[in-house]
Amino acid sequence: MTVESLAPGASAFQLIAVTIDRAGQVKRYSAPSSIGRLPTWSPDGTQISLVALPAADGDPVVLSSDLSILLIEAASSTTKATIPGREAYWTKAGVLVLSNGSWRVGDRARDAQSIEVWNGSQKRELTTVVKLTADPRAQWPSPSASRGVTQTSVLTASPDGGHFAVHITLLDQTSSVRTFAVVRARDGNASAIVAGDTVNDEAWASTGRFVGYTLGSPQQVG
């Protein structure tokens, strides 16, 4: 499964989900007509999770809108369930979701977000972004100084749902401070935090014990 542009021109920045089978047959999911960049498969391969966007990903209206996650039957394109949230990652333990949190006019990021696990209509909170940034290893400013400028994104998880990871970025006026947290689902505590460096390309081991990634360090000036 991957994503591609909805159409040339004005719609080029609107993404839709696409699946390709072993025979090369392509299936495009044109509804919703704009989605987030990381659709995921259910563990049994029968459904996909998509984050529906009201516009292209970079449009300012996306930040101010409460988003929804659609769980879609892959074969029929039928929506089986809708969950409030901004990102989703399917695991054997359920669908991990980054909540909408709240937003105020002038904010550069959503606030008061949490990571939840959903099974059917039942949800359980695993941790909050405030809890992760309060960890001394995150090197984060106080909650009052970081409200409205703490961006949380790129939620991923181990196949069994025992651990998950998320990127947290401070969007202040002078620089962007980056933190990458690997979190235990059972207690919501960070088992590892990478602060200051740029983490990309996360790949979880099938056993769920390890996550690999590429690492870039900030350039030293002077």
Do 31 and 71 lie in a common domain? yes
Do 134 and 208 lie in a common domain? yes
Which residue(s) pair with 40 in the sheet?
Answer: 49
Do 77 and 172 lie in a common domain? no
- Domain tally, the chain: 2
Domain boundary among 84, 100, 130: 84
Task: Write the DSSP symbol of residue 11.
Answer: G
**CB 171 within 8 Å of CB 108:** yes
Which residue(s) pair with 127 in the sheet?
Answer: 115
Domain boundary among 84, 112, 145: 84
Q: pLDDT tens, 125-136?
A: 999 999 999 999
**Contacts with 113 (C-beta within 8 Å, 6 or more apart), sequence order:** 86, 98, 99, 100, 101, 128, 129, 152
Domain boundary among 84, 118, 143: 84
The token duo for 82 is 């809708």
What strand order describes the sheet that includes 190-195? 150-157, 163-171, 176-184, 190-195
Do 89 and 42 lie in a common domain? no
Do 91 and 182 lie in a common domain? yes
Element (H, E) at 124: strand 122-128
Do 76 and 109 lie in a common domain? no
Q: What is the pLDDT of residue 119?
A: 96
Query: Is 119 inside a domain boundary?
Result: yes
Query: Is 29 inside a domain boundary?
Result: yes
Do 74 and 92 lie in a common domain? no
d(C-alpha 19, C-alpha 24), whole Å? 9
Give the confidence band of 220 by pLDDT, cuts at 50, 70, 90. very low
Do 105 and 141 lie in a common domain? yes
Q: State mean pLDDT over 174-179.
A: 76
**CB 143 within 8 Å of CB 135:** no
Q: pLDDT tens, 46-96?
A: 999 999 999 988 888 999 999 999 999 999 999 999 999 999 999 999 999
**CB 155 within 8 Å of CB 132:** no
Domain coverage including residue 78: 1-84
Q: pLDDT tens, 144-168?
A: 888 899 999 999 999 999 999 999 9
Which residue(s) pair with 151 in the sheet?
Answer: 169
Query: Is 222 inside a domain boundary?
Result: no
CATH number at residue 93: 2.130.10.120
Q: pLDDT tens, 10-58?
A: 677 899 999 999 999 999 999 999 999 889 999 999 999 999 999 988 8
Do 136 and 161 lie in a common domain? yes
Is residue 139 predicted with pLDDT exceeding 80?
A: yes
Do 175 and 70 lie in a common domain? no
Task: Write the DSSP symbol of residue 111.
Answer: B
Do 212 and 152 lie in a common domain? yes
Query: Is 40 inside a domain boundary?
Result: yes
Which residue(s) pair with 102 in the sheet?
Answer: 111
To the question of pTM greater than 0.75 for the whole model, the response is: yes
Element (H, E) at 64: helix 60-64
Query: Is 65 inside a domain boundary?
Result: yes
Do 18 and 115 lie in a common domain? no
What strand order describes the sheet that includes 47-52? 40-41, 47-52, 68-73, 79-84
